[in-house]
Structure 1
Amino acid sequence: MKILHVDTGKEWRGGQRQALLLHEGLLENSVESYLAGNESGKLIKKCKKNCIPYRYKGEINPVSIFNLKKIIDHVKPDIVHSHDAHSLTPSLILKYLGFKYKLVHTRRVDFHIKNGLMSRWKYNNKNTDSLVAISEAVKNILISDGIKRPVEKIYSGLDMSSVVKLSDNKKNDLRKKLGINPGDFIIGSVGNFVPHKDFATLIRAFRLVYDEKKNVKLLLVGEGELLNEMRKLAEDLNISDKIIFTGYAENVDELMNIMDLYAATSQEEGLNTSVIEAMMHGLPVVATKAGGLPELVKDDYNGYLCDIKDYTGVADKLTILLNDEEKTHRFSLNSFEISEKFEEAHVVEKYRNLYQKI
């Protein structure tokens, strides 16, 4: 069985991370797997084995279709697995042109499908052999958008054995490097600064938290189009010296070692692997009820759920945990327990079974 994964994204986000983890996991389980990633993207630079740069110029651009054809001619896969909406289109077109492979597509976002003919065609056609949603929330949106075909659900996952655990000395060194005082509590969040992640709600919530508890800082890890706007919001709220914006960071795993709580205030969210990673670090999570987040965060068990854009509610829940050491410890243990369900090995096994079935 030979699998070709295709992803067109230039950025390094959860979808690219999942494509690479699945590719590597299949190779470790003796499945012949190849990964075609955007030649200008971060994914292809991180791929170490059976990696093929894909010259992508747009989903219906003849150059993209021709270049994917060359890759498929070379690999001769039994299954093509498209990992983003833009890679699904050329993969489908080549099937219509007579290429004999099975096609799997994973839908990772909880956005509604656009009403255009192209979007509807991509998700409601007989040439996609299996459509996979990464959460129950994504699956329900596909169904509500009129997708008639069966939709599989396979959660995203991470390799728990690769989670970095720093010694106390290294934690202290990292905190010192970031200008964090020894007694400071750290609320952390990781993600791209894009509209649906809604970091503005978290920053406004933090302003209220800081009013109640002065020895607290907010650690925001990531880059994106709204980063400067969020810096300006922090300045306007007079808390810019209490918020650490790291920008893009390779050491996200290490940074989670110095967080005491984790927050995710998205307006839309397919699942959120950064929350899974935080849970693997045993962090209690305060999150909004967006998309798949309630499938990770169980209210009053490993964290709290708040209404979308409700920054006062987020602030209240963060403050409760900052002031209740016993509850924070209990939520921490529960977070780690839940995270075991999202171990990468389970994801690889489920996709392998799906490939064999089709």
Structure 2
Amino acid sequence: MKKKILLVITQGEEGGAQRYVVDLAKYLIQHNYEVFVAVGAAGERDNWIFSQLIAEKFEKNHLFVVPDLVREINPLKDFLAFFELIKLIKFLNIDIVHLNSSKAGILGSIAGKILNKKVVFTAHGFVFNEQSSFLKKIFYLFLERLASVFRDKIITVSEFDKIEALKYKIIAPEKIVAIHNGLDPELAKNILDKKSAKNFLQKVLQKRGLFAGKNIFDYKIIGSVANFYPVKGLENFIKIAYNIHKKRQDIIFIVFGDDGQRNKLERLIVDLKLSEVVFLPGIVPGAYKYLKCFEVICLTSIKEGFPYILLEALLAGIPIVATKVGGVPEVLKNALSVKLVEVKDIEGLSSAVENILFKEKNEENQLPVEFEMGEMGRKTLQVYESL
């Protein structure tokens, strides 16, 4: 009989943790597991996981919404979500509950263990590592330690997070393992060449009323792909644009993504008089296909787990500038065209972008075998089999 796995995540919008859930679900099905996926309360864009899985012929009756599972702390909704998870796990008679994201990880760990199920939690970057007050950090540490009492195994997506978890005594050393995220190398076939990618970008910008009357081929492009969360440090990306634009007017900056900080970022763009320099065209489905329109990928994050955008940039062979946070140095340890800079060092990031941009020749990055989906899946199955 097939083992039943329930993958749970708080939000279904496109992002790194969501990509992990989709890729892992597909891999598990290929390896003879029966897989169910549960996502928190659906929002405007919270159908990304479901749409991706349905496109892969995933059975719709294996997809569930947990109505009261939300990202924000809400005592009433959290209480209701806890019992919704218990009901779902019991109804499906799950063997292993595999949790992703902080809220799902806390509520689901307790719910799963109450029903005597095996519980695995993947930490895509611990919330206690975010910049917050001392009291908030203590509170988040308390919650992680409490939830870990009910966990059989924690998977971290980077060695950095594993070390942090052990430093703060989140869980015993034998119950935690680092497994890097992985990409299917076959995705390289979908990546457009530079000319085609730039033509696509021109159409995207013009469709949104941006970059009117200009030719994209007259400009070098610095790009990023990120949801507009504070931890992505996109204000710093805009400040890098300001620094470089003072010297060169043939460079533009693009961010594929969206979310609650859009208004704040747009105000900063206007304040710095960069409306014809920095563009936020919104979410671009399958953004990795168009990465070759960028001369450099620039990641300005303040906190990261093991970002897929960098794996995709390696696959596309694009030079990278990134901040030294979380698992980023692990992703880029063998990259050929890369510069790592301290967090919030705007001058350092600006110089790094310029150095790569105006270097006569950059070696082409490649995706190492250790960051392929097969490795991630194989090691995750080893965790399941060890329970």
Does the alignment reach a TM-score above 0.5? yes
Tell me the equivalent position of 1:188.
Answer: 223
CA contact (8 A) 1:36 1:44 kept: no
The reply to whether residue 80 of structure 1 matches residue 89 of structure 2 is: no
Measured in 2, the distance between the counterparts of 1:145 and 1:168 equals 45
Number of aligned residue pairs: 349
AA partner of residue 272 (structure 1): P
Matches within 5 A, 1:285-300: 285-298=320-333
Measured in 1, the distance between the counterparts of 2:295 and 2:99 equals 37
Q: Structure 1 runs of 4+ off > 6 angstroms?
A: none
Residue ranges of structure 2 left out of the alignment (5+ in a row): 130-136, 206-210
The reply to whether residue 146 of structure 1 matches residue 169 of structure 2 is: yes
Measured in 1, the distance between the counterparts of 2:293 and 2:264 equals 26
Choose 230-239 or 111-120, whichever is displaced more: 111-120
Tell me the equivalent position of 1:103.
Answer: 119
AA partner of residue 34 (structure 2): E
* Partner residue of 1:314 out of 331, 349, 352: 349
Choose 154-163 or 178-187, whichever is displaced more: 178-187
Measured in 1, the distance between the counterparts of 2:18 and 2:367 equals 26
Measured in 1, the distance between the counterparts of 2:94 and 2:280 equals 43
* Partner residue of 1:280 out of 305, 315, 330: 315
Write out per-residue CA displacement over residues 151-204 of structure 1, whole angstroms, 9 at most, x where no aligned residue: 200111222212422256633431432345213211110111121111111211
Shift of 1:341: 2.5
Closer, same or farther in 2 for the Cα pair 1:322/1:22, shift >3 Å? same
Shift of 1:299: 8.6
Write out per-residue CA displacement over residues 255-300 of structure 1, whole angstroms, 9 at most, x where no aligned residue: 3131111000111111211111111111111011111111122498
The reply to whether residue 46 of structure 1 matches residue 69 of structure 2 is: no
AA partner of residue 87 (structure 2): K
CA contact (8 A) 2:221 2:252 kept: yes
Tell me the equivalent position of 2:133.
Answer: none
Measured in 2, the distance between the counterparts of 1:280 and 1:102 equals 35
Closer, same or farther in 2 for the Cα pair 1:300/1:57, shift >3 Å? closer
Q: SS of 2:97's equivalent?
A: strand
Measured in 1, the distance between the counterparts of 2:344 and 2:159 equals 22
Closer, same or farther in 2 for the Cα pair 1:54/1:168, shift >3 Å? closer
Matches within 5 A, 1:245-264: 245-264=280-299
Q: Compute the TM-score of the two structures, normalised by the length of structure 1.
A: 0.90
Measured in 1, the distance between the counterparts of 2:143 and 2:126 equals 18
CA contact (8 A) 1:298 1:305 kept: no
Q: SS of 1:74's equivalent?
A: helix
Choose 84-93 or 340-349, whichever is displaced more: 84-93
* Partner residue of 1:17 out of 16, 19, 22: 19
Shift of 1:220: 0.7
Write out per-residue CA displacement over residues 13-69 of structure 1, whole angstroms, 9 at most, x where no aligned residue: 211111111011111222222211225132234332143222232487343233223
* Partner residue of 1:133 out of 153, 156, 169: 156
Measured in 1, the distance between the counterparts of 2:357 and 2:125 equals 32
Closer, same or farther in 2 for the Cα pair 1:155/1:353, shift >3 Å? same
Tell me the equivalent position of 1:213.
Answer: 248
AA partner of residue 357 (structure 1): S
Tell me the equivalent position of 1:26.
Answer: 28
Choose 227-236 or 18-27, whichever is displaced more: 227-236
CA contact (8 A) 2:8 2:98 kept: yes
Tell me the equivalent position of 1:166.
Answer: 192
Q: Compute the TM-score of the two structures, normalised by the length of structure 2.
A: 0.84
Choose 234-243 or 281-290, whichever is displaced more: 234-243
Choose 24-33 or 170-179, whichever is displaced more: 170-179
Closer, same or farther in 2 for the Cα pair 1:207/1:62, shift >3 Å? closer
CA contact (8 A) 2:29 2:35 kept: yes
Measured in 2, the distance between the counterparts of 1:298 and 1:92 equals 33
Q: For the aligned residues, what is the CA RMSD? A: 2.2
Measured in 1, the distance between the counterparts of 2:41 and 2:345 equals 40
Write out per-residue CA displacement over residues 86-105 of structure 1, whole angstroms, 9 at most, x where no aligned residue: 122332333443x2321100
Closer, same or farther in 2 for the Cα pair 1:64/1:278, shift >3 Å? same
Measured in 1, the distance between the counterparts of 2:18 and 2:198 equals 31
Shift of 1:79: 0.9
Measured in 1, the distance between the counterparts of 2:94 and 2:15 equals 26
Tell me the equivalent position of 1:348.
Answer: 377
Measured in 1, the distance between the counterparts of 2:198 and 2:311 equals 24
AA partner of residue 153 (structure 1): A
Measured in 2, the distance between the counterparts of 1:317 and 1:94 equals 47
Measured in 1, the distance between the counterparts of 2:257 and 2:269 equals 16
CA contact (8 A) 2:98 2:120 kept: yes
* Partner residue of 2:128 out of 112, 131, 137: 112
Tell me the equivalent position of 1:57.
Answer: 68
Choose 220-229 or 306-315, whichever is displaced more: 220-229
